[in-house]
């Protein structure tokens, strides 16, 4: 199904923001129904295996390193949100805490 999906979708773009990850895709009108079927099936029959997760985890950690861990302003914003939203999901970065996620990866 992945090959068929790739035939109807232009390149995909993902952006982590404060409370979610935006998933932006352009789909031609005539392919919209099949695309919605693909997405519904993907969510209904989701099967995650370590071989699927590991490469994605590496990409997320690298993006975090490039965009957060090298930018003091973003680090400050992340620390402020963690302090302000101690008991709320807003206090947890969308793409995780770098060091904690690396530790989880090594286990």
Assess whether 84 and 35 both reside in one domain: no
Domain range for residue 7?
A: 1-47
- Residue 33: pLDDT band (50, 70, 90) is very high
Q: For tokens 């003091």, name the residue.
A: 72
Assess whether 39 and 58 both reside in one domain: no
Distance from the first to the final alpha carbon of the chain: 32
pTM of the model: 0.51
Number of domains in the chain: 2
Assess whether 77 and 101 both reside in one domain: yes
Model confidence pLDDT, tens digit, residues 6-22:
555 555 555 555 556 66
Assess whether 16 and 54 both reside in one domain: no
Assess whether 43 and 53 both reside in one domain: no
pLDDT above 60 for 1:
no
Assess whether 29 and 66 both reside in one domain: no
CA distance 43 to 38: 9
Assess whether 59 and 106 both reside in one domain: yes
Model confidence pLDDT, tens digit, residues 40-98:
998 898 888 899 888 888 888 888 888 888 889 888 888 898 899 889 887 887 777 77
Assess whether 59 and 96 both reside in one domain: yes
């Amino acid at each position: 199904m992945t090959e068929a999906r790739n035939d109807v979708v232009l390149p995909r773009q993902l952006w982590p923001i404060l409370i979610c990850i935006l998933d932006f895709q352009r789909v031609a009108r005539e392919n919209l129904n099949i695309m919605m079927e693909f997405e519904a099936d993907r969510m209904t029959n989701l099967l995650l295996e370590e071989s699927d997760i590991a490469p994605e985890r590496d990409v997320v950690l690298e993006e975090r390193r490039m965009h957060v861990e090298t930018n003091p302003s973003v680090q400050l914003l992340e620390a402020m949100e963690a302090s302000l939203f101690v008991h709320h999901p807003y206090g947890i970065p969308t793409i995780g805490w770098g060091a904690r996620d690396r530790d989880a990866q090594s286990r």
